[in-house]
Amino acid sequence: MAAETPSLLPHEQPLPPRKDLWTAAAFLVLGLAIVSLAWSMPRYKEQKGEIYTAPGLVPGIYGLIITGLSIWLAVRSIRRGAHSEAAATPETAHDGSSNLRLALAAGLALLFCVGLIGRMPFWMAAAVFVTAFIALFEWRPGVPWGLRAKLLATALLQGVVTGIAVMLVFEKIFYVRLP
Amino acid sequence: MLDSLGQFGGALWGFMSPGILFTVLWATFLGIVIGALPGLTATMGVALMTTLTFTMPHTQAILVLVCIYVGAIYGGSRSAILLNIPGTPASACSTLDGYPLARQGLAGRAMGISTAGSWLGTLFGTLCVAAFTPVLSEMALKFQSFEFFWISLFGIVIAGTLAGGDPLKGYMAGFLGLWIATIGQEPHYNYQRFAFGSTDLAGGIGLLPALVGAFGVAEVLQAMRGPAVKAVSSTIDSVIPRISDVVQHWRTILRSGAIGTFIGILPGLGEDTAAWSSYAAARRASKEPEKYGKGSVEGLMSAETGESACVPGAIIPVLTLAVPGSAPAAVLMAAMMIHDINPGPNLMLQTPEFFYQIVAMLVIADMSKLLFGLTLVRPLLWILLVPRERLMPVVFVLCVVGAYAITSRVFDIYVMLFFGLVGFILRELKFPMAPMILGLVLGDLLEKNLTRGLVLSDGSLLPFFTRPVCAVLAAITILSILWSIPAVNQATRGLFRRQPR
């Protein structure tokens, strides 16, 4: 039974300890930076400000807690063998996951937000983005040119329809301003 | 009682115009589609629609969001049953018995069970909202800053402890959210914290752009990175729920409804925990536990009832304490604030009609869900077959519009992008998202109540621990932190373990 039914709390398996150690280090830096910046904030003593209304008090406490928690995570990951040889072995990739696809999606998103929006009407920017996104992700080597042209045409059609539909629906029906 | 029923009837009648009913139908349908599509979650749907409906009258906007929320939690079961891929995290439990039923050629029956369980679960939870919210609101009226501080902190700690995965990472995510909420002008001296001279940052991090990023953009990135979803079989038997399936499992339905609603009330836990807890309880009580995981009708019914009862349950603390019970409820609460509705104990005093409207919204959203559950099978199958390469760019465009819509600042698009990346990385590092959202939403409440409490007590921390409700909340908060330390946990279990004779 147990073999066929996953554990009742389906959340992820723990990360390799070395990854947790790096995560702890990043959070430690963040926590210390918050504490340092909070400490340097004014306390308004000249305005008879009390310590508990000082702007840096609450973020400073959060910074201290984040620092403490990251130390806890670091200690735990070391205890779990973050320094061992086994922890240094490269992790096997997720089944079917692709960092190339991730980078492409993130790059296109960035290009859309930084490079296209504001430089042309929003509907056009959306159309270019959607068309490029579909065309690049559906690109397969060795596909006959006829089929490729059909795929590109449908991508272009979906891009233009998306751009115009978004403009009409949000500007005319929801009265939302578009970028 | 009669007065309450009259007010509820009035609220329900108020929604009975063709225009509003049309809104209910499209919003519930959209919610079901969002829930059914793997990669899009209820939180993302509610966050996105919050920004896109903010020009609507507040009742209509909240109605849309409630319908999206109710629809999305139900819609997730469609892909869970047909694809073995949960459309939302809440539906993960439904894959255990839903998919085996579908493989036995009973996909229609499984969807019927899902529809019946989900409908009854939401109805049960809605009855609890109607029954308990006024009582809890009255209790909460006696609370002061000290209690509200602990309620906020309790919410974040409980979400960190129980939201799944690693409690330590849950706490880290929660305090990260709380810290992000401090960025911008602080309330006492208008000092610009962590702004580094940027006027945009001095205005603070917009809650909704951050949420749209952490959910929408992060989900787009995750979906594009992950493997493609396989096509589904299109042979489906009747989806009309069988009366016998409901009558036979009435105990399971009531139990799961109660568990789901209770978990909804606990801050930050949400529908996935509700589904798994209901499923576990049903299996423990079952006469046929060996069928669980192999296509158990009872198992599927318990998961569906539990997750759907959690939706109204999660709205109870929003209305009574201004503390959300789940991630989508956190966004719903933010939407209420944007529409100048003040959730919390004063809501029943200031705008009691809104409370009855919420109950009416849940009822009609539930009815609308039932209608689509019985009729909308083939179109949803087609939607499930839309390739992610064609769906995700459209979702991203909507995220951009959503992030920009509220304040018309391009800066908010960058905030969305940043939080999309942060959300993606944190998920990859196994950080739960619910505590971070709760931190973002509750940050302002927590800080204001902490400093107000300190001003009232002239800097003394004693009232934070000696007032009765504070003492209880402080004890639970501290105990749940201690409980999450493995050594303490094992030692405590050892103390209570029965010694062999």
Looking at the fold, whether A24 and A82 belong to one and the same domain comes out as yes
- Asked if the Cβ–Cβ distance from A170 to B226 is below 8 Å, we say no
Partner residue facing A59 (CB), from B182, B224, B451: B182
Residues A103 and A56 in one domain: no
pLDDT tops 50 at residue A6: no
At B1 the pLDDT is: 65
A9 pLDDT band, cuts 50/70/90, is very low
Residue that finishes a domain, picked among A88, A108, A136: A88
Residues forming beta bridges with residue B184, ordered by sequence position: B193
Across the interface, whether the CB atoms of A126 and B93 are under 8 A apart is answered no
Q: Are residues A105 and A169 in the same domain?
A: yes
Average pLDDT over residues B83-106: 82
Cα distance between residue B322 and residue B347, in whole Å? 9
- Considering the domain architecture, whether residues A82 and A103 belong to the same structural domain is answered as no
Q: Within B84-215, where are the H helices?
A: 92-103, 107-140, 145-162, 167-181, 199-202, 207-211
B451: contact with A, CB 8 A cutoff:
yes
Statement to judge: residues A84 and A107 lie in one domain:
no
Q: Do A137 and B389 touch (CB under 8 A)?
A: yes
Distance from CA of B5 to the nearest CA of A (A): 33
- State the pLDDT at residue B237: 67
CB contact under 8 A, B401 and A178: yes
Mutation site for B-interface testing, chosen from A69, A112, A140, A175 by largest number of B Cβ within 10 Å: A69
For residue A67, give its domain range: 17-88
Measured between beta carbons, the chain B residues lying within 8 angstroms of A76 are: 168
Residues in chain B closer than 8 A to A156 (CB atoms):
none
CB of B413 within 8 Å of any CB in chain A? yes
Task: Report the pLDDT averaged over residues B288-311.
Answer: 91
Query: What would the pLDDT profile of B456-496 be if each residue is shown by its tens digit?
Result: 998 889 999 999 999 999 998 898 888 888 777 778 777 77
**Does residue A44 share a domain with residue A81?**
yes
Kindly provide the ipTM of the predicted complex, given to two decimals: 0.88
> What is the rounded average pLDDT of the residues B177-193?
91
Q: How far apart are CA A79 and CA B491, in angstroms?
A: 19
B430 and chain A: CB distance < 8 Å anywhere? yes
Cβ-defined contact of A178 to B413 (cutoff 8 Å) = no
Q: Is residue A16 less than 8 Å (CB to CB) from chain B?
A: no
- Paired with B192 in beta bridges are B185
Pair (A84, A110) in one structural domain: no
Domain boundary among A32, A64, A88: A88
Tokens of B13: 């009648």
Residue A93 domain flag: no
**pLDDT of amino acid A8:** 41
Q: Do A72 and B168 touch (CB under 8 A)?
A: yes
Nearest to B53 among A1, A174, A177 (CB): A174
Q: How far is CA B193 from CA A45, B115, B185, B441, B453, in A?
A: 18, 49, 6, 18, 22
Q: Give the H or E element holding residue B185.
A: strand B184-185
Name every chain B residue with its beta carbon within 8 A of the beta carbon of A1: 289-290, 292-293
**Between chains, do A170 and B52 touch, taking CB under 8 Å as contact?**
yes
Residue A123 sits in the same domain as residue A160: yes
Who among A4, A10, A27 is closest to B276 (CB)? A10
Please choose, from the candidates A80, A93, A75, the residue with its C-alpha nearest in 3D space to the C-alpha of residue A17: A80
Identify the CA nearest to B245 among candidates B292, B300, B307: B300
Whole-model pTM over 0.80: yes
Beta strands in B194-309 (DSSP E): none
Mark whether A103 and A84 lie in a shared domain: no
Q: Give the gap in angstroms from C-alpha B328 to the nearest C-alpha of chain A.
A: 19
- pLDDT score of B499: 60
| Interchain proximity A52–B171, CB inside 8 Å | no
Interface of A with B in 19-38 (CB under 8 A): 19, 23, 27, 30, 34, 37-38
In a shared domain, residues A46 and A78: yes
A66 at B interface, C-beta within 8 A: yes
Task: Determine, yes or no, domain membership for A179.
Answer: no
DSSP type of residue B292: T
pLDDT tens digits for range B362-395? 999 999 999 998 887 777 777 777 888 888 999 8
* Tokens 């789901």 sit on residue: B260
Task: Write phi, then psi, for A117 (nearest 5 degrees).
Answer: -65, 130
Query: Residue A12 pLDDT more than 90?
Result: no
